[in-house]
Amino acid sequence: MLLFVHAALAAPTHAQMEAATWSHYSDRSHDDAGEVKVFRSTVAGVDCFKATAMTSEVDSKTMLGVVSDVVGAKRWSSAGVTMAEVLGRSGNTLTYYQYLDVPGWTMTADRFWFLDSEIVDNGGTKALKWQKMDPTGPYAARYNAFKSQNPNAVEPPVNVGAWTFTNQDFGVDIGYMICTQAGGSIPAAIQNAATQKTLPDTVGDVVREAKKRLGKN
């Protein structure tokens, strides 16, 4: 099991997120993902969000393959990922970075993150869990060089979350949890509103790409 022993701020743990009480926020019908339910919670003092959906059109293995394809997100994600690189892979662990090109009209800086991830496959549930990479660890030189090359981009001080895909008799339950603080000058209320609004699209991106990989699009 991958252990995360560092934190720039006191980020929630995956166990805390899984045990949290979530309040329903909204429902939205998505062309690819169907009905997506959005929830929110405060975990270890951090605003967190969760989206759930169910699909019978694609399987859990294919969707896990999509979310693990962090470089391919430049193509399949609608979030605006323009740079991505896998720094290291060993067994079920993955270390990588992604760069998010934020539209200029938002008047906010681009975002980037360096993450340690763990791929989990226990048969019934497949998952990708992530947390911030230790900036003083094996990839410190790459991290520092990237920051120097992108001085205006902001790294969220908290970034922890998970994708889960749980097999059911009638399909696959999709779960997406994220606890994050945007950093920079974005007010928390604006960040939270944007996160809640875009969660269904995040789920929909994964289902759409999974359909494409299965020849259903």
Which domains does the chain possess?
A: 14-211 (3.30.530.20)
Question: Does residue 16 carry a pLDDT above 90?
Answer: yes
Render pLDDT for 141-196 as a digit per residue (tens, 0 to 9): 999 999 999 999 999 999 999 999 999 999 999 999 999 876 555 555 555 556 66
Q: What is the pLDDT of residue 217?
A: 74
Q: Residue 122: its pLDDT value, please?
A: 87
Alpha-carbon distance of 62 to 206, in angstroms, equals 9
- On the question of pLDDT at 20 being above 90, the answer is yes
Neighbours of 4 (CB within 10 A): 17
Residue 34: partners with Cβ closer than 8 Å, 6 or more residues away: 53, 54, 55
Amino acid 103: pLDDT: 61
Rounded Cα distance between 28 and 35, Å, is 6
Q: Tell me the per-residue pLDDT of 89-98, one tens digit each, with 9 for 90 and over.
A: 999 999 999 9
pLDDT in tens, 43-79: 999 999 999 999 999 999 999 999 999 999 999 999 9
Task: Give me the percent of the chain exceeding a pLDDT of 90.
Answer: 78
Supply the pLDDT for residue 123: 80
- Stretch 14-24: mean pLDDT: 96
What are the residues facing 85 on neighbouring strands? 97
Neighbour order of strands in the sheet with 81-90: 23-30, 34-43, 46-55, 171-181, 158-168, 125-132, 111-121, 93-100, 81-90
Q: What is the mean pLDDT of the chain?
A: 89
